[in-house]
Each structure stands twice: as C-alpha cells, then as structure tokens.
Amino acid sequence: MQNRSVPRRTVLASAAVVAAGTTGVMGVTANPAVAHRRDHRLKKIISRMSVEAKIGQLFVPYFYGTSATSPSQFDQERNLKELGVRTVAELIAKYHIGGVIYFSGWANNIQDPRQVADLTNGVQRASLALPTPIPSLISIDQEHGSNVRIGSGATQLPGAMALGAGRSLTDARAAGRISGTELAALGIHQNFAPVADVNVNPANPIINIRSFGADAREVGRMVAAQVTGYQHAGVVACAKHFPGHGDTGEDSHTGLPVITHTREEWERIDAPPFRAAIAAGVDSIMTAHLQVPALDPSNEPATLSPTILQGVLRGELGFDGVIVTDALNMRGVRTKYGDDRVPVLALKAGADQLLFPPDIGVAYNGVLAAVRSGEITEERLDESVLRILRLKDKVGLLGGSPYVSAKEVDRVVGARAHQHAAARITERTTTLLVNEDRTLPLRRGHKKLLVVGASPAFPTDSTRTTVPELARAFDELGYATTHLATGRAPDAAQIDAAVAAARGRDAVVVTTDNVGATSAQRTLVSRLLTTGVPVVHLAVRNPYDIAHLSGVRASLVSYGWAEVELRAAARVISGRVDPRGKLPVPIQRADDPAKVLFRSGHGLSYDD
C-alpha cells in the first residue's frame, strides 16, 4: 500500500473547506434545523467555487489503469487518446472532476482489493490538490450476480433475481450491508444498485436477472431492503433505471427502447419499486435512456425529459436526492443530439450527476458554454452541486480523511464471516422447478458425474468458466467429476462427444444459458435424456430456459453463474441443503405464451 500521509497544506486546505462531520450511521439529517445548518455550511463551500469547479463536480467519467498517477504505458496511451490526459490524476486536475467510476476488464481499474484501495487514495490525493479541495465520490456498478466489478478477494453475493427467489428481506438487507461494508472499506461510496426495474418481459435483453422479479410489490420490498443495507453500511445506494426498464425488448446501450405501458400500467407495474426506494430514503436514482409516451408525449428519452425527471420523479414522487444519468455513451441517449448537447439537456431536465460521457472534453465544454450563455443559470448549477455535496457530507467525505488503510481492507474485504453469510444466503435462493421420480438429491452411491453444457465466463474473470468451476464444486463435495463445455451453440460433434462422455456416469448435470426456440442447447439436452443416465438440468442464467426443454425430470435455476451461485447449486443437487428458492417470475409455455407453465412462487423442496 502507498503511504497515506497527506501534505500538511492539503490537510489544512481540506479542513478549511470541508469542516464538520456527519451524524448517525450515514449522517442522516432528518431534523430540519440540522439540515439547514448543513446546507448553510455547504453553500459556503459552493460560494468559493469557480464555475469551472462547479461543473466538474457534476461529471463521473471513466478512465483507464490501476493507478491514479502511474498506470501502464498502454493505459496511458488509451487515456491520452480518449480523455486527452495520461492519468486520472491529470483528468481530475484538468476538469475539476468531482467523482469517477471504476470498471474491471476493459478499463483495467480493478485487480485486487489492496490495489483498488491504492487507486482510491491516489484519486483522493488528486482531488484534494484542486484549488477547492473536495474529495471525490467514487462510484461503481457492483450489483452482484451477473454484474460484478470487484471479483477476486471480495465477497461474492447472489444477484437480484436470486435474492428475489430467496424471498427474504433479511437476506436482501444483509447482502446490501455486506457489499456496502466492503465497498466503503475500499473508499467507494456510491454503488449503482439496486435495480428497481420490474422484469415483466422474459425476452428483456438488458435487465432480466438483474431485476428482483416480476411482481412490483415484491420488487419494491426487496429494493427497499437493499437500499437500507447499503446505506447503513455508509454507501450511497442508487435505484435504477427510472421510470422503469423492465418491459423492453431492446437494449438502451444500442437503441432507444419504447415503453408502451399506459399511465395506469406504469403506476401499477413500474412506479412501486421507486416509491419504495424513496420511502426507504434512497440517496440517488438513475435515469433510463428510453421513451415513455404515457409520461411524456414528446418522446424525449427519460434522461432528457423535464416532464419525467422534474414533473414525475421530483414533483409526483417527491424525490429530492441526486438524479444520476445512465451512461451518456449509450446509444439510447445519443439518437437525437450531439455529445455536447446531451449533458446540457440532461441538466435542464433535472439530472445532477452526468455519468460516463463519451468525450469528457466535449461534454464539459458543452455545459460550460451553456452556463456562460445563460442557457443554464448558475443557480441551477448550484442546485446540483449542493445535492452532490450533501452526499459527500453524508458518507463522511467532508468530515475527515477520505483515505483508506491497508489494515482495514485486509480486515473487512472478503472477511470469513462475510463469505459464510454469502454462502448461506445463496443456498436459500436456488430453485428446484422439476423433480420427477425423486431424481434429486443425487443418490449416495452416484459419485461419478459428468458436468456438461453452456459455460459462460465468470463476470469478473474470463479465465474461469461455468462448467469446470461447477465440476470443481462437485469434486470438493466428494464426487468424481469429468466435464465438457459445449457452449451456447453446440454443434453436432460437440453433442455427440457429450453423449459419449455420459456413458458410464452415474448422473449428468447439464447447464443451459438463454435457451430459445431454435437453440442447439435443446438438442443437447434431448440427446442426453436418451442415454438412460439420470440428467439434472441447471439454468445458470434465466429461469425461462425450462419452457423450451421437454422431458426433463429434474431442473433447477441458479439465476447466475458466479462462484457462490454455482457452489450453492452443487450443494442443493447433492442434497447437502434443501432447495428453498421460489420463482420470482412466472414462466410461460413456449408453445402458448398465454398459458403459465410455472407460476411465480413455484419452487419444490425435497420434502414435497
């Protein structure tokens, strides 16, 4: 770890600008007099900021590299090409940036917890070196399940739909608290979770298992529980994607979806989880890049719609926290306007934080030009800056040192108690859909297993894939396991090899991933069923796969393929634990979608 001592000048400057701490777990200021005094203090800070510094507080850009000041040469070159600077420290200095977002994989921000902590300290040193030294609010997308940024070393938890299957508010709250506690130890104080979308469209290409389910009331209860868990841990939660992304067949990363719900349907289906999040005290809400004609007939994307953000979210729902845009590099928000105008229109619509602009220079200068021309008043600018400073004050960034320590990281992140709790929570989510002739649990003498099928890579580690990791989980339980990954589109040779590998096995566990009407995975499963070897089907992503598979005598859903979810599924299949999950969505028949194959709430146990 790098030395976290701060030059005396920076400490004194920080103290002069950001005095006074927080109250309560996250500095909750329900008392109007306390809130007034806090705002008075924060407005003094704002009064000393330049327009350029105020604009910088609004942006949450990406960057490349594992270090704030000395990333690899490759990452420096990428930063220079896309951001105009070599390091995130230079980015913060150039644009007075108020927050950044970490990504694993493509951005190469995350390797392990200690490295993340060092990166955080470097970001904060750069922030405290600004003319107005205000710590950064560091953000991340750590939803868990299929959407994870910090993998190795941190506790992995079940995703939203898995938690929805667990039906436990206590578990959902605990998962948020565990995740939030570890993020806070790393100096990450804003998590873009939980997803508040109600997944009523089984073909939804972007939300799906990231949602808690298809019942608006149940989703709302789970969202509120997660908000409470995160925020009690000292992390800003963010309910997303307002006004609701659960009934779309198009991905807003690549297009501009349209939600065709009537106003009454929106009130019944989409609004309840956001109302629940607001009632639970959620600190931020993320917008969606989609059109909702029933809410705004102008058909502006919700992110750019004053009618939706100011009229509905702030006016009707009464939300006065931070509104953060979904990533501004997504196609859904760039269909009508240039990258210099999108952030301006988002601010005019009512947004506060501007996430992931595709070109930070173009976006920043676009807002600066709008302020200088009077299109955006400085008073409007101050409103958003005040809301952002309230968040920073609430999580303790303005009341003391923003730096994190190696000792705390080692003590908290991936703690044994967290790992144990995550395993037990996940075991309560695995759902048994079919169990004819008591195929499960596996018979005691059946130790020779074949694990075969679709094998998506782990969310944070592309070198580890589902099938071999599931086989390893069975090996650790005492089985003699062989495995064969055939992918999502197995060809005839792969299917023949799988059938041959099944011979002499006591049982076959076949994994599927997004089975459709024409999927070759259907052929794989049907051919395995003809071998006479007991076949156990495990859907590692969508619960809807079973609708396309006939003749299956044992079928389960894990709702994700993170290691913790695979281990839980193995323990359920082996009979170490009883399946307790209940479907949080209905599954329609593939040949007649008007009819339900399994109702929401369906889930077998070994006692049934």
Question: For the segment 410-457, what is each residue's pLDDT rounded down to a tens digit?
Answer: 999 999 999 999 999 999 999 999 999 999 999 988 899 999 999 999
Cβ-based neighbours of 36, under 8 Å, separated by 6 or more: none
Residue 287's nearest CA partner among 256, 316, 260, 323 is: 323
Residue 80's nearest CA partner among 67, 63, 56, 97 is: 63
- Determine contact, residues 409/154, Cβ cutoff 8 Å: no
Question: What is the predicted pLDDT for the residue at 175?
Answer: 98
Question: What is the predicted pLDDT for the residue at 459?
Answer: 84
What is the chain's mean pLDDT, rounded? 94
Give CA torsion, residues 568, 570, 576, 578, to 10 deg.
60
Phi, psi (rounded to 5 degrees) for 461: -150, 95
The predicted-structure confidence for 368-398, as pLDDT tens digits, reads as follows 999 999 999 999 999 999 999 999 999 999 9
Coil, helix or strand at residue 376: coil
Structure confidence at residue 121 as a pLDDT band (50, 70, 90): very high
Residue 226's nearest CA partner among 276, 298, 174, 271 is: 174
Coil, helix or strand at residue 79: helix
The predicted-structure confidence for 581-594, as pLDDT tens digits, reads as follows 999 999 999 999 99
The predicted-structure confidence for 135-164, as pLDDT tens digits, reads as follows 999 999 999 999 999 988 999 999 999 999
Coil, helix or strand at residue 18: coil
Question: What is the predicted pLDDT for the residue at 151?
Answer: 87
- Determine contact, residues 130/91, Cβ cutoff 8 Å: no
Instruction: Please state, for a pLDDT cut of 90, what percent of the chain lies above it.
Output: 90
Structure confidence at residue 462 as a pLDDT band (50, 70, 90): confident
Residue 463's nearest CA partner among 104, 71, 81 is: 104
Q: What share of the chain is helix, strand, coil (3-state, %, to 5)?
A: 45, 10, 45
- Determine contact, residues 293/299, Cβ cutoff 8 Å: yes
Residue 301's nearest CA partner among 277, 332, 262, 329 is: 332
- 438: β partners: none
The tokens of 101 are what? 């977002």
Tell me which CATH code domain 430-598 carries. 3.40.50.1700
Structure confidence at residue 17 as a pLDDT band (50, 70, 90): very low
- Determine contact, residues 196/227, Cβ cutoff 8 Å: no
Label the pairing between strands 139-140 and 190-191: parallel
Tell the burial category of 380 from Cβ atoms under 10 Å away from its Cβ (0-12, 13-18, 19+): middle
H or E, element range at 524: helix 520-529
For 10-32, what is the mean pLDDT? 40
Structure confidence at residue 251 as a pLDDT band (50, 70, 90): confident
- Determine contact, residues 126/93, Cβ cutoff 8 Å: yes
Domains 8-412 and 430-598 share a fold: no
Q: How far is CA 273 from CA 100, 223, 415, 430, 483, in A?
A: 27, 7, 31, 24, 41
pLDDT over threshold 60, residue 18: no
The tokens of 205 are what? 């290409």
Distance separating alpha carbons of residues 278 and 554, to the nearest angstrom? 41
Distance separating alpha carbons of residues 353 and 57, to the nearest angstrom? 8
Structure confidence at residue 249 as a pLDDT band (50, 70, 90): confident
Question: What is the predicted pLDDT for the residue at 252?
Answer: 85
Question: What is the predicted pLDDT for the residue at 420?
Answer: 98
**DSSP H helix total and E strand total for the chain:** 21, 18
DSSP E strand stretches across 222-296: 238-242, 284-287
Cβ-based neighbours of 374, under 8 Å, separated by 6 or more: none
Question: What is the predicted pLDDT for the residue at 365?
Answer: 98
The one-letter amino acid code at 82 reads E
CATH architecture assignment, domain 8-412: Alpha-Beta Barrel (3.20)
**Domain coordinates in residue numbering, the chain:** 8-412, 430-598
Q: Annotated active-site positions, please?
A: 253, 326
